[in-house]
Structure 1
Amino acid sequence: MNLKEQIKSTGATFTPQGLADFLASEIVKYVDTDTDLTVLDPSCGDGELLLAINRVLEDTRLNYSLRGFDTNQTYLDEAYARLELIDPNKVRLEQGDFLELVDLSDEQLSLGFGDSKELSSVNCSADIIIANPPYVRTQILGSQKSQELAKKFNLKGRVDLYYPFLISMTESLKEGGILGVITSNRYLSTKGGESIRKYLVDNYEILEVIDLGDTKLFDAAVLPAIFIGRKRRVGSKQKVKKEAQFIKIYEELNGYNGDLTQVNSVYEILKNPESGYFNIGNKRYKRTNGLLKYEANSGSTWQMLSKSELAWASLIQKNSKGFVGDFFKVRVGIKTTADKVFISDDWGKLGSDSPEKELLKDLISQENIDRWRVNDKVDLKVLYTHELVEGKKETINIDKYPLAKQYFLKHSEQLKGRKYVINSGREWFEIWVPQNPRFWKMPKLVFPDISVNPRFYFDKGGKIVNGNCYWIVAESAEKEELLLLIQGVANSNLMTKYHDLVFNNKLYSGRRRYFTQYVEQYPIPDPDSSEAREIVTLVKKLNQTKDEESIQSLEIELEKQVASAFGVEAVLTLD
């Protein structure tokens, strides 16, 4: 199998040369020793990163050697071919699994990835590590390998493979050594990345973090980030820094029409030291420079804001009464684990075989939700398998609904294939996560998990919420007014700007993630203020208005009131 076939079959993602050159140059800036250097790439692939750092180091007076590992011999053969012009005494490439080679305990656990020699030879061996480790979830390695990795690296839940690589690279780095690594950017802002952030803070003086967001530098759907840090020296009395340099580069999709710097690639933007807007062909990018702030011994979210951005966000927080999570629990919608069976926008096509109408409930989903209304043209309904009996959630008695029973039996192979439902003592035809039917008739605020723009919709029609959306329920009249206030704030340009700056999480094409952990941290102005009461009045009008021109006029007034409530200028357009 040739190299291209190997890459396709393994799903490998090699580092582009421009990114490799940039990372190598940044790493060498922080080298503060003139002793012989050992440079290590634990997953070297075709050798691009080793080539890049060799190009930088050969222009210095430093003595150095290059060491690379990979499990794939075809990749190593390609790396050897590309590195052949370098002094062979400087290059050492080895086939083997780096995660197995690093010794984390007195009795090394064999992971079974291959025959290993010199099990501890990599520990504390490198002065520089330059890496682009695999981003895949450990689960795809199979249950046995996943369990062995979890045991060795003390991992819990679903984690990306680059996390055990980070641990292994840290063990392989000498104290004071420099780590420069390309990873997914997910750990920067998600709750799931909390343990990674804490690990990096505990073990490194953070030097730079570069979020390359949706720049599409890789062929695969990877949202990359660069971390550069110096391994902490044990027992050092040096004061722990709580900030570092950061750069963010994201595609600008908000219609910015100001000054643009023309460049040929994202790498030119990286090399340009200034913040600003850049143009590449028909795409525009925004670069932001600033200070990354973090708490020592903590996995809390890192703030990546410029000085002016931090001042703006801090003023909003200062003038808030609290956060959404102080007043409400944010829930996720139902999860059927067999959507094609339970959800349809055309139940009528079944004719007389359609399940009983009382079981077919209106459904709010990613496809039909907007900020002030739902799209009635998308008539989604879910075959809902639960009901309230004396105030308690119960599974329906399927024998009372012969049409639904007949329908489920037609799909019994798929439904009974959900062993986790049956093994948990549930009926084979049940929705896996039905949520509490008691809440559906209550006023609720619903918003999709992924969206380009905020779409917080207020429902009083008793609709059920799909699993690709989140929702907040109001259990009293007082809470209903507060829910309307949140709707107005959450749908504003101001809160969209706040979301982008504080949570720093975007997907490709400008899409945003509206995780529970983000929305629960949305600031809320004082509900008793005149501005808050006016926001609620405007939202009630917006929820009832259908004329687009009137909606636009009301939204402008809403922006002004939201800004006034937080003591900042109105955000009439996003830039």
Structure 2
Amino acid sequence: MDKPILDFLKKYSADVEVINRLLVSTFLTFKSIAKVENLYIQSLIITDRTSDERDALDNFLKLFTKKQEICSEELLGLFEFVISPSDKLINGAIYTPKNIRNYITEQSFFSLDCNTLNDIKIADIACGCGGFLISASKKIKKKTNKSFKNIFKENIFGVDIQSYSVDRAKILLSLLAIAEGEDEKKFEFNLHTGDSLNFDWSEKEQSFKGFDLILGNPPYVYSRNMDQQTKVLIKNWSVCSTGHPDLYIPFFQIGYELLNEKGILGFITVNTFIHSVNGRALRKYFSENSISLKIIDFKGAQIFKSRTTYTCLCFLQRKETDFVKYIALEEEKLTDIAEIKFSKTLYENLDSVAGWSIRNHDLITKMESIGVRFGDIYDTKSGIATLRNRVYIFKSYKTKGDYFYMQDGTKIEKLICKDIVNSNRINQENDIKSLKEKIIFPYIYDENNKITLIKEEIFSSDFPEAYKYLFKHKEDLNCRDKGNGKYPAWYAFGRTQSLEIIKHKLLFPRMVKKGFIAEISNDSNLYFYNGMSAYAKKEGDLKELKRLLTAEATWQYIENKCKYYASGYFGLGKNYLDNFGCVESTK
């Protein structure tokens, strides 16, 4: 949709019903549907030609060009667009592109072992505005020629935590039928408002025996953004017993356990469960239940244009199997699932704790079985985490006497500062020296190099300028971790990682491309943030470590083991290299 249309909706109203009336009336106008029998849709039509709503509708219609119109898909997109940003953050609502929805629906139907679709039961357990239910309804209509009225009543089921999303799903399904010439006074829907984390389908549906198909896009909510009730409820699901699980994770278990004995689940979801710590229990669940699982990984491609999310398609089936099927595939190359040449990796050969190596399992296994484990010789660390780098870290624009000076003239005592570099910025153009900044470092070391936070009375008396500067930012510092941070003092760093003294270290970015640069530092007073460092656990050669880390063989390992990011980057997180076999052949 054109920007003026979206801008109009942003400013028009926050009232759900007002927006519903505007969009329903717009759709009917474009479809030249002057009369509607359906009572629910009737109640949403703007009819008073002298009202402010009518003026708004006329102005809204003028924004559409002659070539534009609103079909069911565009209307769905607009309904998804007007969901408030706060609801998108907390509840994870995100619009799934039509081609992805249709692919998941088509392939799930194709894989279904079912003689007739007349009695099929299809659910979306986080249905939002009903995109997947629309795709499924169209598919059943095409295959059976049943009326939409009967499809909605007998075949389609959904639940969503937001009541207004459920209402909009009913609106969209009703308009789908009306636009196809099936205008009924009333449609019966099996759409419910509820939280799938504790929703009981047996209470809603008589003689409930499970669903034939579950389709959808589980909510995209990071653990840190969940409300307290959600954090409590996810503990009821075994797949959420490790790390800090994001909200999409329990939906695999919920969905799988709601399938009937031949059921199929088709999701588009985050691909991080393949390697992440919070995916350990989910990987274990798949393995212990020998679940038939096919993964189509989009790698670093962005399927959702409005959000930076790395996704995959997952198809689960209620039948036991010994292996996981996997392929990394571009969206444009999606084809019938029966024609895709998946790789197969036995569950017994996969490590649920360390993460699944399923891209090129044979290669990874070979590279991990020779030489000495990287993790036995070297260690890797993430950088200092103040959680407010803009406050603690600065570029010294002038040095005078005992002080460094910021660009605005603020002076900070030299003795409270350390040198620091952003190792994510290391490349051919920026060596370590040119990247050096200063960090206010309110810590001291004892004779055993044990680090301690400087007491506030000493900090304020010995370093009054630094204390005064940080005190000006006290309110901002107290907002770290959403105000729930448990720090020994308000001026302490958000985390205590990487504060120890390490003299010999290799600095490199957290996200790397082939040919990435790593730089050696032998400065025990130099710290780093954002990126990574590696060092020998005992006496070791940093030049050898640098050669090893940037070797061709190591890169083959990285691109088959590590997490994908956009534009050919891979995440080189702390534990990804531990099992890599260090051998002389990497020269």
When normalised by structure 2's length, the TM-score is 0.71
- 1:150 maps to 2:209: no
Candidates 558, 562, 572, aligned match of 1:514: 572
Question: Pairwise mapping of residues 104-143 of structure 1 onto structure 2 (< 5 A)?
Answer: 118=203, 124-143=209-228
The C-alpha deviation readout for 1:439-496, integer Å capped at 9, x for no partner, is 23x21122222233444332112254334122233364x3x22x43332122123322
CA distance in 1, matches of 2:465, 2:446: 22
Q: Residues 80 and 94 of structure 2 are in contact (CA less than 8 Å); yes or no, is this contact kept in structure 1?
A: no
- 1:246 maps to 2:329: no
The C-alpha deviation readout for 1:246-269, integer Å capped at 9, x for no partner, is 22125xxxxxxxxxxxxxxx3444
**Bigger-Rg structure (1/2):** 2
Q: Residue in 2 aligned with 1:180?
A: 266
Q: Residue in 2 aligned with 1:222?
A: 309
The C-alpha deviation readout for 1:147-206, integer Å capped at 9, x for no partner, is 244356784553222222222212321123111111111112222211222223334532
Question: Pairwise mapping of residues 76-475 of structure 1 onto structure 2 (< 5 A)?
Answer: 76-83=170-177, 85=180, 92-99=189-196, 102-103=199-200, 118=203, 124-151=209-236, 155-156=240-241, 157-203=243-289, 205-219=291-305, 220-232=307-319, 241-249=321-329, 266-271=331-336, 289-295=342-348, 299-300=352-353, 301-305=355-359, 309-318=360-369, 320-346=370-396, 348=398, 349-350=405-406, 353-370=410-427, 374-391=431-448, 392-396=450-454, 397-398=458-459, 399-416=461-478, 424=486, 426-435=488-497, 438-440=500-502, 442-453=503-514, 454-474=516-536
Q: Secondary structure at the match of 1:432?
A: coil
Gaps of 5+ in 1: 104-115, 233-239, 251-265, 276-287, 526-531, 533-560, 566-575
Tell me by how many angstroms 1:506 deviates. Answer: 1.0
CA distance in 2, matches of 1:378, 1:490: 21
CA distance in 2, matches of 1:117, 1:314: 45
Q: Which moved more, 1:411-420 or 1:22-31?
A: 411-420
Q: Secondary structure at the match of 1:376?
A: helix
- 1:31 maps to 2:90: no
When normalised by structure 1's length, the TM-score is 0.72
Q: 1:363 to 1:121 in 2, by over 3 A?
A: farther
Q: Residue in 2 aligned with 1:528?
A: none
Counterpart amino acid of residue 168 in structure 2: T
CA distance in 1, matches of 2:482, 2:102: 48
Q: 1:59 to 1:513 in 2, by over 3 A?
A: same
The C-alpha deviation readout for 1:122-152, integer Å capped at 9, x for no partner, is 9642011111121113553422343244356
CA distance in 2, matches of 1:34, 1:231: 17
Q: 1:38 to 1:508 in 2, by over 3 A?
A: same
Q: Secondary structure at the match of 1:69?
A: strand
CA distance in 1, matches of 2:209, 2:156: 15
Tell me by how many angstroms 1:390 deviates. Answer: 1.4
CA distance in 1, matches of 2:349, 2:203: 35
Q: Secondary structure at the match of 1:303?
A: coil
Tell me by how many angstroms 1:367 deviates. Answer: 4.8
CA distance in 1, matches of 2:286, 2:537: 42
Q: Residues 368 and 580 of structure 2 are in contact (CA less than 8 Å); yes or no, is this contact kept in structure 1?
A: no
% same residue = 19
Q: Residue in 1 aligned with 2:47?
A: none
Q: Residue in 2 aligned with 1:571?
A: none
Q: 1:46 to 1:138 in 2, by over 3 A?
A: same
Tell me by how many angstroms 1:90 deviates. Answer: 11
Question: Pairwise mapping of residues 54-65 of structure 1 onto structure 2 (< 5 A)?
Answer: 54-57=137-140, 65=155
Q: 1:90 to 1:490 in 2, by over 3 A?
A: farther
How many residues are paired up?
A: 474
Q: 1:324 to 1:489 in 2, by over 3 A?
A: same
Q: Aligned-residue CA RMSD in angstroms? A: 3.6
Q: Residues 102 and 120 of structure 1 are in contact (CA less than 8 Å); yes or no, is this contact kept in structure 2?
A: no
Tell me by how many angstroms 1:117 deviates. Answer: 9.2
CA distance in 1, matches of 2:96, 2:422: 38
CA distance in 2, matches of 1:205, 1:101: 23
